[in-house]
Structures are given as C-alpha cells and as structure tokens.
Structure 1
Amino acid sequence: MKTKAVLGQAEVAAILAAARSEAQANGWNVTIAVADDGGHLLGLERLDGCAPIASYIATEKARSAAIGRRETKGYEDMVNGGRNAFLSAPVVCSLEGGVPVIVDGQVIGSVGVSGVTATQDAQVAKAGVAAVGN
C-alpha cells in the first residue's frame, strides 16, 4: 500500500499566511484558495478590496491544478496556442494562477489565486506553495 503526505489545517494556514504576505508586500488585493488533492476546498481568504468574483475564480484555479496535477498556466498556454478544443475539457479553469502542492513527487493539494494579473496571481500562489512543498 502506498502512503503520501496530506494537507492538514496547519499546512493550510501556513500556505494562506505565506501567500497573503506575498500579496500584501506587493499591494495586491487577491483571493487565495487552498484545495486538497481532489480539488476540494480546504481554505479560502479574500483580502480587503478584492472583487467577489475572485473567490470563485481562485477556487476553480485550485481545483483545476489539483485534479490536473499541473499548473493551470499550461492549460492557458494550450488555449492561447490555438488548441481551442481544450475548452471543452473537464478542467474548469484554464487561467494562470493555479499551482499544485507537490511533496515527495506526489500532488497533495493546490493553491489558486485570483485578483491581479495572471503572472502576479501565479507569483502569490507559488509563495504559498513554497511554505509546504515543491
């Protein structure tokens, strides 16, 4: 039987704190979502001044990164590269800013961020992920 790490509430809190710190250091109002390896929401934080829609988008970025086992930027690149058929794939969000949490080569969850530019969203997500994995 295989075993792998899982995200507990301590790790979720560490991810949210690290991502929040990165966003606040840059003056970015974002929403940060943390999901388990099945894409189920474990934690969500919407910073003051962030639009409500960002909560939905961040959650879907996290879900897509978890179930796809890769950064959502890859999906965005596929669509932007002309592979429009990918829009019908079961991945809900093909926008940059979803990053898987990988520990010992296994995806154990993900972080999704929305509220600023795609590259900035990814920067905040990666700061959160760095608190526990990859």
Structure 2
Amino acid sequence: MRKSVALIAAGLVLAGGSAFAQTAAPSAAPTPAPQPPYAARVITLAEAKTVAAAAEAEARKNGWTMVIVVLESNGAQVFAEKMDGTQYGSNEVALKKAHTSANFRRPTSYFQELVKAGTLNAIFTGATAVEGGELLLVDGKIIGSIGVSGGSAAQDGIVARAGQAALK
C-alpha cells in the first residue's frame, strides 16, 4: 500500500512538473527606477498651489476638465480642486492616484505598465494602476505627490507632469 501511494505521489509530481514547464513566461515587467527618498520636510501650501495652478493651466490649455489633488509625502491632503464640469467620480480617483505615488514612491504609470505586461501580482493591493499620479520632488527627495483625474489616462498624466514640473 505504501509503495502504491509513493508511486502515485511521484507520478503527480512529475505530471505537475511538465505542466509548469509548458507554461509561457509572462512579459517582462518594467524595470523600476530607483525610488527617491522621502525628504525631511513636506510640501507647503504655497508650493501645492503652484503645482495645482500649473496643472490647471495645462488642463485649460487643452480644453480638459480635471480634479487635481496635492498631498504631503505622508499622504495628508494639502490642496484639492475640481474644475467646473469635471465628473464627480474623479475626486476619489485623483486622491487614490496621489496616494499611490506617495505610498509607493513611484508614478502610477509604473503600475499601469505592470498591468499591461501581465506581471502585476494578482494579490497585490493598494495601488491605483492608472497614469495621472506623480511624485513631487525637491533636491531629489519626495515632498509630496499629485493626482489628477478627469480625462483619459494619458491626459491625466500630461496634466500631472505639468504640475510636477512647476517645482523644478
């Protein structure tokens, strides 16, 4: 009886091994950029307003309506605005994008690319994997993040990066 159980177990292991060998490897995941450190300070209200104004100017230039959220690096909200006519659902999406960038020290586009490549772990939670969340850096250190929602993912990303560039 023991010999039969051992043979069955061995057969299952061998059968399972060949099935794994035939599984196609997932697409290569994007290589993450080195994560910048958090700064000893957080973004000020004046800086947050500068970032939001630059983001809003880019949105208006393109005829887009957006929600723009600026957070401290610890995730506390500093500034938020909803442009007239922006869909209500964008309030929460912009906030989640800003939180994702601050919490994971990466732009949300990084997670979007992982999803496209099929390499984002199915049990991974807590990140919004849609472009439009960016880090706000001073001297290479994170002082906050911006999240933008209201257009397509690409449009949100353009507006968020315009806000991000205002600190340089």
| Corresponding residue pairs, total | 131
CA-CA distance at 1:88 after TM superposition: 2.4
Are 2:69 and 1:51 equivalent residues in the alignment? no
Distance 1:78 1:102, change over 3 A: same
Structure 1 runs of 4+ with >2 Å offset = 2-6, 86-91
Residue aligning to 1:82: 118
Residues 37 and 66, structure 1, Cα contact 8 Å, conserved in 2: yes
CA-CA distance at 1:31 after TM superposition: 0.5
Counterpart amino acid of 1:116?
Answer: G
Which structure shows the bigger proportion of residues in strand conformation?
1
Distance 1:65 1:23 in 2: 20
User: What is the DSSP-based 3-state SS (H/G/I as helix, E as strand, rest coil) of the residue aligned with 1:18?
Assistant: helix
Residue aligning to 2:158: 123
| Cα-Cα RMSD | 1.7
Distance 2:93 2:164 in 1: 18
In structure 2, the gaps of 5 or more residues are: 1-37
For residues 29-84 of structure 1, what are the alpha-carbon distances to aligned partners after superposition, in whole Å with 9 as ceiling and x for unaligned? 11001011012211111101100100100000001011111110000110121124
* Structure of higher CA gyration radius: 2
User: What is the DSSP-based 3-state SS (H/G/I as helix, E as strand, rest coil) of the residue aligned with 1:88?
Assistant: coil
TM-score by length of 2: 0.73
CA-CA distance at 1:107 after TM superposition: 1.0
Residues 39 and 143, structure 2, Cα contact 8 Å, conserved in 1: no
Are 2:38 and 1:15 equivalent residues in the alignment? no
CA-CA distance at 1:3 after TM superposition: 6.2
Residue aligning to 2:137: 102
Residue aligning to 1:113: 148
Distance 1:23 1:114 in 2: 11
For residues 69-109 of structure 1, what are the alpha-carbon distances to aligned partners after superposition, in whole Å with 9 as ceiling and x for unaligned? 11100001101211242562332x11111000111121111
